Amino acid sequence: MAMKLSEKCFSFAKTVFFDIISSKFRAGSLKRSLDLSYVIFEKIAYNFEIFSSNYINMYCEIVEKEIRLANITSKDNVLVIGAGSLPATSVLIAQKSGASVVSIDVDKAAINKANVLIKRLDLSDKLKLVHADGRYYDFEKFDVIFVLYAIKQLDEIFEKISKKIKTDTRVIYRSVFDKETNTIKSRIDLSKFLEVKNIVKSENISPAASALLLKKDT
């Protein structure tokens, strides 16, 4: 009974934040408004355990698709840029693939909150949270790099990624699906930096979609 009620509350909050608020913005600013909705939602939902677990569950479908897209296994070292206060993606990658995950965020308060959750989930061995800016992180030792939504200075980050990653590193970029062009919406021209290989769409958190990007042949 209590479970059903909390699920209903979460579903209501999700509708208010992601459907109603976001739809008030013009189509051109959809991506930015969605980015902001998620960051604010995480900061609030962090305080309520039942919201946190529903929030993490909401990401299951897209993360499972991303794991298959990038063929992530327990042997991989994964970097996630943009942990957030509720590091749902990082938690699910560690739990579902068994990979070792480092998740970074420029927001120190978000890292502190995320650390509490990781300890609660007993994931500290598999998932490390680091206060750092994606622009200055060392990409070389990672097999898979996730660049999530709401990441600032995207062009600088992709410029560095394209130069520093190993030839077989898989990069997953999560953003919004663009129905008109049948591809991923981005503030930057991704093909300038990496080769776009494939895309998966989320049904659960539509219009989210993720692209698999690989180093270009030189």
Ligand X SMILES: C[S@@+](CC[C@H](N)C(=O)[O-])C[C@H]1O[C@@H](n2cnc3c(N)ncnc32)[C@H](O)[C@@H]1O
| Shorter beta-carbon distance to ligand X: residue 129 or 194 | 129
* Binding test (CB under 6 A) with ligand X, winner from 78, 88, 123, 184: 88
Residues 93/78, Cβ–Cβ less than 8 Å: yes
* Binding test (CB under 6 A) with ligand X, winner from 11, 15, 29, 153: 153
Q: How far is the CB of 89 from ligand X (least distance, A)?
A: 3
Beta-bridge partner residues of 195: 214
| Shorter beta-carbon distance to ligand X: residue 181 or 185 | 185
Q: How far is the CB of 83 from ligand X (least distance, A)?
A: 6
Using rule CB under 6 A, residue 82 touches ligand X: yes
Q: How far is the CB of 197 from ligand X (least distance, A)?
A: 21
- Contacts of residue 154, defined as CB under 8 A and 6 or more positions apart, other chains included, come to 147, 186, 187, 188
Q: How far is CA 203 from the centre of its chain?
A: 16
Binding mask 32-71 for ligand X (x = CB under 6 A): -------x--x----------------x------------
* Binding test (CB under 6 A) with ligand X, winner from 34, 86, 129, 211: 86
Residues 212/197, Cβ–Cβ less than 8 Å: yes
Report which secondary-structure segment, H or E, holds 115: helix 108-120
Tell me which residues in 100-139 interact with ligand X (CB under 6 A): 104-107, 110, 133-135
Coil, strand or helix: which one is 99? coil
CA-CA distance, 177 to 104, in Å (whole number)? 25
Q: Please identify, among the stretches 8-16, 21-29, 145-153, 197-205, the one whose residues bind ligand X according to the rule CB under 6 A.
A: 145-153
Joined tokens for residue 86: 């509720």
Phi, psi of 209 (to 5 degrees): -155, 155
| Shorter beta-carbon distance to ligand X: residue 5 or 40 | 40
Q: 78: how many CB neighbours lie within 10 A of its CB?
A: 26
Residues near ligand X, by CB under 6 A: 39, 42, 59, 81-82, 84, 86-90, 104-107, 110, 133-135, 148-153
